[in-house]
Amino acid sequence: MKATLETKIGLEVHCQLTNLRSKLFCGCSANYRGKEPNTHMCPVCLGLPGSLPVLNSKAIEDAIMIASALGADISSRTLFFRKNYFYPDMPKNFQISQYDQAGGVPIAAGGSVSMGNGKKVRIRRIQIEEDPAKLSYEGTIDSASATLVDYNRAGIALMEIVTEPDLESPNDARLFLQNLRSILEHLGVSDGSLEGSMRCDANISLGEGRRVEIKNISSFKEVERALNFEIARQKSLLDRGAEVKMETRHWDELRRVTVSLRVKEEEHDYRYFPEPDLVPIAVTPELIDKVKANMPELPEMREERFVEEYDLPHEVAQTLTGNKRLADFFEDCVKSYPDAKKIGNWLVSDFLRYLYEAGLDIDESRVTPDHLVKMLQLIDSGVISGKIAKQVLKEMMTTGRLPDSIVEEKGLRRISSRDYIESEVEKIFKELPQAVNDALSDEKAVNYLIGELMRRTSGKCDPTLANEIVSSKLSKLKSKQTAA
Amino acid sequence: MTNFFEATASETALKIKGGEVTTEEYISSLFERIKKVETKIHAFVETTEKAALSKAREIDKNLREGKATGHLCGVGIAVKDNICVEGIRATCSSHMLQDYVPPYNATVIERVVGEGAIVVGKTNMDEFAMGSSTEHSFFGPTRNPWDPERVPGGSSGGSAASVAAREVAIAYGSDTGGSVRCPASFCGVVGLKPTYGTVSRYGLIAYANSLEQIGSIARTVEDCALLLTVMAGHDFRDSTSAKVASKDYRECLKNDVRGLRIGVPKELFAVGTQEVVVKNVWSGIKRLEGLGAACEEISLKSLEYALAAYYVIAMSEASSNLARYDGLRYGYRVKSDKGDWNLVFSQNRRQGFGAEVRRRIMLGTYALSAGYYDKYYLKALQVRTLIKRELEKAFGKFNVLIGPSMPILPFRIGEKLKDPLEMYMCDVDTVPANLAGNPAMSIPCGFQNNLPIGLQIMAPPFREDLLIQTAFTFEQNTSHSKQTPKL
């Protein structure tokens, strides 16, 4: 068995342009989520006989923005092609898309996304296309007795971003998608938190094995899972000396396996040809300039700014801007709390870890910038220690309650009564004479006594007072010994 | 009741507005006529008497209140069954769409109704506009009013026959490769295919999008020009619709061709053109010469490849356009739909489409397939560009080009059904205008054994004015258009 096989992964990312109010080729509202199935449709997006598509020109502006952000070359003239194949999710049994062969010109090509770790993933092409309807199965695709079709999604504007096979691991894929999402969200063109707004297909090959395409990866979270499964599947085939077939597989999210959809011989011949109902689009330098002039700040620019403006370490700034919502959260906090470094540290360490453990997105957590700022203020005013604050943060995450009420209810307030602490220290010195002796001869052993005090007060004891009282008691004992 | 149905659309609108006849009286007389001749002609797939009469009474009421106006106030119009009228079935004469009721109006319907016209029914056609004889209809053929044993031409055969048979004064047809001009020629009426982009295709059920336009069919050039005036104009719902200022084409009705330069491409009189057609078309050209036009015989080599290029492009586009008819959302569905979607789609399509439609879908699918795309589809596009350029060049020298609309006289029903290629050959003179997008018109120029012969005029893009002026002059100085089929 070979130790490592070269893994090559390329992604086809489909992002809905969620900032558009209407669908790509008709006036239907693009805000279809949560609506009753088959209520957001018209003759055009249903492909009724005689209807004609009319391009939503805002989609071109979005595409220009995305292409600029990725450093891609924008075509001066672009056109739409028909991709012909039968499938029940397609109202016309063809998809209006773009093509890079047979005279086709996608809106943009080239460019790259930096991964933050020095790697760059090259972009092959960027194109505009319409989303098909949404299919639902009762159970899994294999076992369902019927397929349900919801046309509300049909005709929503999609950007297809195709990478070169530059990704080397499922983790790479996740990182790439995370960075891409941050870019798209900074541009304000696609909201990745909406269900199904960002999906992808993955192409993967191992060593000398054939390329396998995985379809139906419904969210970025699923990509790593699907790729890990597929690598394991292909490895076990190769280990047994079996062949990896060139095929298209379907990611079954429920069972977390890929299943074969079709092998190479059954691959579609899409019979691409120019869409005769739409005219070629001239993308003028004036339009590009206009869009570029209104480009919002991109993650990389924001990272630089965070370093300069808030004096954050590079890694902290990079982590924050790797997710637009996190960066926004940070800047919201900074508005009402002066120590940006402290906020940054809390966010990239404890806050992110809790989110990750709970499997939540930032906007799914119940903690707002107000929560965090109030918590930091409690630390500063000595009401709670940093250690207790971690407990408070966790509690805020699950209940959404404000930190002061958590502190009151759980009795987490710092103990700063000198009498109380002195009486506790008295007890410890009586009960642990050996530890006291150690502390007398070895400065370092003092911490054990303070630790014991903290344990007995559930960490709530004011650390300055604790130190002071323990030290003074020890020095009294020491002077007694010397006197004796 | 008087024979109001004999009047042209222009006359009718004036009479109704002038109070000479009520809309209801006039519409009733149309339906009386329709009932009388329809059994012989079968021009309509469906007539809408009740709705039309109620609309007529509404117009009369508005007239009494001084509210009704419009170029076509109260005029009845027949609409080819591939143009969507809200609430009335649009079958495309196909089993597939036998029960399909569109939920919206085509732009041309909005416009014509906005000018006061009343839809009296939907006309028969070759299934999905694929044919030149109106024999390929799920509902059976339409018959030629001049000889019911013969075809009316196609694919807008029902529209042309209804106009020739005086069931209506005006009708909408659609012209993908000659489907307005061919039946106009065979039925002895006037048919105009506008420049590509002049008329909105929104609501026209597509056969071959890059080639087709909705056109007007009438008994007079004036009515043809009037209907064009109403239907033309930019429409934001059709991206291929041209942004040209709308105009009143009736202003082009000038009886004058002095100084007009006419080119006569000899390729339009190719082998297979009947002697009698050649003779009548040439005598028409000579008549125009006699009225002051200058004519010259020319050669446009690329036209020899027009028919082949046309069929490749039309079938390719059709194979994609007709993919949506799978029976899932609307349209024909097999009774037993057991099996996976692939099987059900296949069965629906096999049984829902007629043989000619299936043939064209298969040929078009083939032409677009990997490995054949360059050989057929791309080649055809190259030919199309050549034809366009050669026509452009010719129009640098000539105002109009003239030739036959059809190479042959109307043939007998069933005569060409066995040989599709022979049927396709009928379109040889009409397809160049579709490939290049130019406007073209057919007007009657003679009769042989009581069968009409059509003369075709082509003009540069957006020069419908030249077509109309030439055709009007010809009409005013000849008597062919005044003939009436005996029914």
Residues of B in contact with A272 (CB under 8 A): 368
Active site residue B162: no
Judged by average pLDDT, the poorest of A139-148, A293-302, B382-391 is A139-148
Cα–Cα distance for residue pair B440/B176, rounded to 1 Å:
12
**Cβ contact, residue pair B328, A279, below 8 Å:** no
% of chain A beyond a pLDDT of 90:
63
**Helix or strand (DSSP H, E) at A308:** helix A299-310
Report yes or no: B382 and B443 within 8 Å, Cβ to Cβ.
no
Helix, strand or coil, per DSSP, at residue A319: helix
Residues of B in contact with A88 (CB under 8 A): 328, 341
In this structure, the number of other CB atoms found within 10 A of the CB of residue B272 comes to 11
Residue of B nearest to A49 (CA): B205
Residue of A nearest to B91 (CA): A49
Provide the edge-to-edge strand list for the sheet that holds A81-84: A94-97, A81-84, A273-274
Q: Which of B179, B319, B405, B481 is catalytic?
A: B179
Higher pLDDT, B124 or A389: B124
Helix, strand or coil, per DSSP, at residue A401: coil
**Cβ contact, residue pair A52, B202, below 8 Å:** yes
Cα–Cα distance for residue pair B406/B397, rounded to 1 Å:
25
**Cβ contact, residue pair A93, B202, below 8 Å:** no
What does the pLDDT average to over B131-152?
Answer: 98
Helix, strand or coil, per DSSP, at residue B448: strand
| Residue (of A272, A212, A282, A269) closest to A243 by Cα position | A212
What does the pLDDT average to over B261-269?
Answer: 98
Residue B263: beta bridge partners?
B296, B401
Interface test with A, best of B92, B128, B324 (most A CBs within 10 A): B324
Cα–Cα distance for residue pair A63/A127, rounded to 1 Å:
8
CA contacts within 13 A on the Cβ side of B182 = 37
Whether residue A1 is predicted with pLDDT greater than 70 in this model: the reply is no
Domain ranges of chain B: 1-487
Whether residue A2 is predicted with pLDDT greater than 70 in this model: the reply is no
Cα–Cα distance for residue pair A172/A85, rounded to 1 Å:
32
Whether residue B416 is predicted with pLDDT greater than 90 in this model: the reply is yes
| Residue (of A172, A171, A181) closest to A327 by Cα position | A181
B209 — contact with chain A (CB < 8 Å)?
yes
| Residue (of B230, B231, B232, B227) closest to B242 by Cα position | B232
- A418-483 is classed CATH 1.10.10.410: yes
Question: pTM for the complete prediction?
Answer: 0.91
Cα–Cα distance for residue pair B256/B259, rounded to 1 Å:
9
Distance of CA B194 to the CA centre of its chain: 10
B104 — contact with chain A (CB < 8 Å)?
yes
B92 — contact with chain A (CB < 8 Å)?
yes
A146 — contact with chain B (CB < 8 Å)?
no
Cα–Cα distance for residue pair A97/A300, rounded to 1 Å:
31
Strand B76-80 to B170-175 pairing: parallel
A144 — contact with chain B (CB < 8 Å)?
no
CA distances from B375 to A170, B358, B361, B378, B433 (A): 42, 22, 18, 6, 23
Handedness of CA A87, A88, A91, A97 (dihedral sign): negative
Active site residue B155: yes
Active site residue B216: no
Helix, strand or coil, per DSSP, at residue B188: coil
**Cβ contact, residue pair A277, B209, below 8 Å:** yes
CA distances from A413 to A375, A382, A384, A410, B460 (A): 12, 9, 6, 8, 90
Strand B213-218 to B440-448 pairing: unpaired
Helix, strand or coil, per DSSP, at residue A442: coil
Which amino acid is located at A252 in the chain?
D
Report yes or no: A123 and A164 within 8 Å, Cβ to Cβ.
yes
Q: Which of B155, B162, B200, B316 is catalytic?
A: B155
**Cβ contact, residue pair A271, B373, below 8 Å:** yes
Distance of CA B175 to the CA centre of its chain: 5
B102 — contact with chain A (CB < 8 Å)?
yes
CA distances from B306 to A256, B21, B364, B419 (A): 56, 48, 17, 20
Helix, strand or coil, per DSSP, at residue B146: coil
| Residue (of B91, B69, B70) closest to B80 by Cα position | B91
Whether residue A281 is predicted with pLDDT greater than 80 in this model: the reply is yes
What does the pLDDT average to over B364-390?
Answer: 96
According to the model, what pLDDT value does residue B1 have? 46
Least CB–CB distance from B239: residue in A47, A54, A273:
A54
Strand A81-84 to A273-274 pairing: antiparallel
Q: How many residues does chain B have?
A: 487
B84 — contact with chain A (CB < 8 Å)?
yes
State the smallest CA–CA distance between residue A51 and chain B in angstroms. Answer: 6
What does the pLDDT average to over A278-299?
Answer: 96
DSSP 8-class letter at B255: S
Unique residue bearing structure tokens 């918590």:
A375
A265 — contact with chain B (CB < 8 Å)?
no
A231 — contact with chain B (CB < 8 Å)?
no
Burial (CB count within 10 angstroms: exposed 0-12, middle 13-18, buried 19+), residue A419: exposed
Strand A94-97 to A81-84 pairing: antiparallel
pLDDT tens-digit map of B158-185: 999 999 999 999 999 999 999 999 999 9
**Cβ contact, residue pair B320, A46, below 8 Å:** no
DSSP 8-class letter at A58: H
Residue of B nearest to A273 (CA): B368
DSSP 8-class letter at B378: I
**Cβ contact, residue pair B204, A84, below 8 Å:** no
pLDDT tens-digit map of A216-249: 898 888 999 999 999 999 999 988 988 888 999 9
Q: Which CATH class is domain B1-487?
A: alpha beta
Cα–Cα distance for residue pair B465/B439, rounded to 1 Å:
10
A46 — contact with chain B (CB < 8 Å)?
yes
Interface test with A, best of B240, B329, B434 (most A CBs within 10 A): B329
pLDDT tens-digit map of A93-148: 999 999 999 889 999 999 999 987 788 999 999 999 999 999 988 777 667 778 89
Q: How many residues does chain A have?
A: 484
Least CB–CB distance from B240: residue in A91, A269, A277:
A277
**Cβ contact, residue pair B320, A271, below 8 Å:** yes
Report yes or no: A87 and A64 within 8 Å, Cβ to Cβ.
no
What is the count of residue pairs from A and B with beta carbons less than 8 Å apart? 98
**Cβ contact, residue pair B323, A86, below 8 Å:** yes
Judged by average pLDDT, the poorest of B203-217, B331-345, B356-370 is B331-345
| Residue (of B269, B267, B306) closest to B284 by Cα position | B269
Interface of B with A in 382-411 (CB under 8 A): none
Cα–Cα distance for residue pair B472/B254, rounded to 1 Å:
7
What does the pLDDT average to over B375-403?
Answer: 98
Report yes or no: A159 and A143 within 8 Å, Cβ to Cβ.
no
Residue of A nearest to B374 (CA): A102
Q: DSSP H helical segments within A382-417, as ranges?
A: 386-399, 403-410
According to the model, what pLDDT value does residue A360 have? 82
Tokens of B234: 């930019």
A47 — contact with chain B (CB < 8 Å)?
yes
Tokens of A369: 């910038």
According to the model, what pLDDT value does residue A331 have? 96
What does the pLDDT average to over A77-83?
Answer: 97
In this structure, the number of other CB atoms found within 10 A of the CB of residue B339 comes to 12
Tokens of A296: 């919002």
Cα–Cα distance for residue pair B163/A243, rounded to 1 Å:
69
CA distances from A12 to A201, B318, B458 (A): 5, 30, 49
Q: In whole numbers, what is the pLDDT of chain A averaged over residues?
A: 91
Interface test with B, best of A51, A83, A266 (most B CBs within 10 A): A51
Cα–Cα distance for residue pair A43/A79, rounded to 1 Å:
23
Least CB–CB distance from A94: residue in B83, B239, B323:
B323
Residue of B nearest to A146 (CA): B340
Cα–Cα distance for residue pair B236/A429, rounded to 1 Å:
89
Residue of A nearest to B210 (CA): A276
State the smallest CA–CA distance between residue B98 and chain A in angstroms. Answer: 13
Cα–Cα distance for residue pair B135/B151, rounded to 1 Å:
7
Q: In whole numbers, what is the pLDDT of chain B averaged over residues?
A: 96
Task: Quote the strand ranges of A117-246, DSSP E.
Answer: 120-130, 134-137, 147-150, 157-163, 198-206, 212-217
Tokens of B260: 């007009």
Least CB–CB distance from A92: residue in B317, B323, B341:
B323
Cα–Cα distance for residue pair B137/B128, rounded to 1 Å:
9
**How does residue A363 score in pLDDT terms, banded at 50, 70 and 90?**
confident
Q: Which of B55, B80, B122, B193 is catalytic?
A: B80
pLDDT tens-digit map of B52-97: 999 999 999 999 998 878 999 999 999 999 999 999 999 999 999 9
Report yes or no: A403 and A391 within 8 Å, Cβ to Cβ.
no
| Residue (of A279, A276, A280) closest to B314 by Cα position | A276
